[in-house]
Amino acid sequence: MSKMNPYEMFLKQVDEAVPYLNVEQEFIDVLKEPKEVLEVTIPLRLEDGTVKVVKGWRSHHNNALGPYKGGVRYHPNVSKDEVMALSAWMSIKCATAMLPYGGGKGGVRIAPRELSKAELERLSRGYALAIARFMGTDIDIPAPDVYTNPQVMSWFLDTYEKVKGWNEPSCYTGKPLELGGSLGRGDATARGGMYVLREALKEVGLYGKPLTAIIQGYGNAGSNAHGLYSEIGLTVVAASDSKGGTYNPKGLNYEELMKHKKVSGTVADFPGGERLTNEEVLEIRADVLIPAALEGVINEANAAKVNAKVVLELANGPTTPEADAILEEAGTLVVPDVLANSGGVTVSCFEWIQGRTGDFWTEKTVHEKLDERLTHAFHEIWKIKKQQGIRMRQAAYVRAMGRIIAAMRFRGIWP
Ligand code: GLU
């Protein structure tokens, strides 16, 4: 792991972009702190009658460009620093994708797989109730993240609307279609990453060739990437999750691996592959490495062993600043999280628009708009990268911070 916690990672990433930005230091100082962080305690009644005290947070990083936006994560290791970092990365991400949002994020410290469905519902309603006064369609719009999904969004939404006494579908995104969700939201993170990767591969001269890929993390983003990326010529040869990895140099069959994961709860021990440890999976020689789970998996201890030409960050914060430097030295192109995984929040924005207007789009429209937006963002960042001779992450931060700070400058420092 990195010596830095996730928030320190964010601060370092900001510092690495500042020399290429011509802005007043006071705005950088403001961006280095979240505007407000709500800490909540949720007493959760368990099936056996006892009460478990659960901690949660919702961080509002910056709202110069629009209401705070970002997911809610359920994970046993969630911390306040992590939620703050994730909210700051959302500010950068929304500005990168040119969305009318600032950055927010929520987290609840719990292992959701250990809860019954009724316990999960009580916990979700408890959290939604606790943050209700901190959010709303024009204030802060939460969405799914690690281990939360459309069912959890439904409980959040229902609780919020019952507290308020009115219907307000766009106060949450990532909802089921039946509650005003958008077509194309389910695989949006992976799909957005595919459009971005396609453009990156064209730039480095790899597009159109048969390519191999490794997927680290087999949740929503990782598994959908496996299903989709054959469209751009990728064969997934290795995949891993928290319990281990699987490898087959000829390619892992998507449908069979999904079936295996559903039955056994993990991709490890897949009969169609050889079992590997998580570390071994990261070291396999492949064209594209796709971290799709948690922060800090590519770090100073293992970055030199990465054997891929391109790293596509579908996770938030998977590469530490130390690892960024090592990968750059090795000539590996890192396509940063704030661009690579921005498809999720972009389709969340489409859902928010559709919910506000009542005008629902076809899946084709969603895909086309997503492609157009992310292809445009990619090329703007690529241009800055080339002009300034910097990493893609630095270029994305230059563009995003420039946008946020331009809005802050118009607003002025007040009160
Ligand atoms: N949790 C996703 C992310 O990290 C999506 C956030 C959203 O849709 O608001 O980008």
Which of the listed residues 145, 339, 370 should we mutate to test ligand 1's pocket, taking the one with most ligand atoms within 8 A of CB?
145
- The answer, yes or no, to whether residue 225 has pLDDT greater than 60, is yes
Residue 2 has a pLDDT of: 57
Residue 153 has a pLDDT of: 98
Helical H segments across 269-320, by residue range: 278-283
Domains of the chain in sequence order: 34-170 (3.40.50.10860), 188-340 (3.40.50.720)
Q: 244: pLDDT confidence band, cut at 50, 70 and 90?
A: very high
Give the Cα separation of 274 and 222 in Å (integer).
19
Give the Cα separation of 131 and 123 in Å (integer).
12
Distance of CA 215 to the CA centre of its chain: 15
Q: 95: pLDDT confidence band, cut at 50, 70 and 90?
A: very high
198 C-beta closer than 6 A to ligand 1: no
Q: Angle at which helices 343-357 and 80-96 pack, to 10 degrees?
A: 70
Mean model confidence pLDDT for the chain: 97
Give the Cα separation of 116 and 191 in Å (integer).
31
- Compute the distance from residue 72 Cα to the ligand 1 centre, in Å: 8
- Compute the distance from residue 294 Cα to the ligand 1 centre, in Å: 13
* Cβ count near 407 (within 10 Å): 16
Atom of ligand 1 nearest to the CA of 142: 9
87 C-beta closer than 6 A to ligand 1: no
Give the Cα separation of 302 and 182 in Å (integer).
39
Residue 226 has a pLDDT of: 98
- Compute the distance from residue 52 Cα to the ligand 1 centre, in Å: 28
Mean per-residue pLDDT, 119-140: 98
Name the DSSP letter for residue 288: E
Residue 99 has a pLDDT of: 98
Contacts of residue 8, Cβ cutoff 8 Å, sequence gap at least 6: none
- The answer, yes or no, to whether residue 1 has pLDDT greater than 70, is no
97 C-beta closer than 6 A to ligand 1: no
Decide if 182 contacts 150 (C-beta within 8 A): no
SS3 (DSSP) at 287: strand
Considering the entire predicted model, what is its pTM? 0.98
Indicate the helix (H) or strand (E) that contains 333. strand 333-335
71 C-beta closer than 6 A to ligand 1: yes
185 C-beta closer than 6 A to ligand 1: no
170 C-beta closer than 6 A to ligand 1: no
Residue 3 has a pLDDT of: 75
- Compute the distance from residue 275 Cα to the ligand 1 centre, in Å: 31
SS3 (DSSP) at 95: helix
Mean per-residue pLDDT, 253-262: 98
What sign results for the dihedral spanned by CA atoms 300, 304, 310, 312?
negative
Give the Cα separation of 284 and 302 in Å (integer).
12
Residue 408 has a pLDDT of: 98
143 C-beta closer than 6 A to ligand 1: yes
Give the Cα separation of 27 and 23 in Å (integer).
7
Decide if 87 contacts 123 (C-beta within 8 A): no
Among protein residues, the one whose CA lies closest to atom 9 of ligand 1: 70
State the Cα torsion 108-110-113-115 to the nearest 10°: -100
Q: pLDDT (tens digit, 9 = 90+) per residue, 323-352?
A: 999 999 999 999 999 999 999 999 999 999
Which of the listed residues 189, 338, 350, 373 should we mutate to test ligand 1's pocket, taking the one with most ligand atoms within 8 A of CB?
189
- Compute the distance from residue 48 Cα to the ligand 1 centre, in Å: 34
Decide if 350 contacts 149 (C-beta within 8 A): no
Catalytic site residues? 105
Q: pLDDT (tens digit, 9 = 90+) per residue, 140-180?
A: 999 999 999 999 999 999 999 999 999 999 999 999 999 99
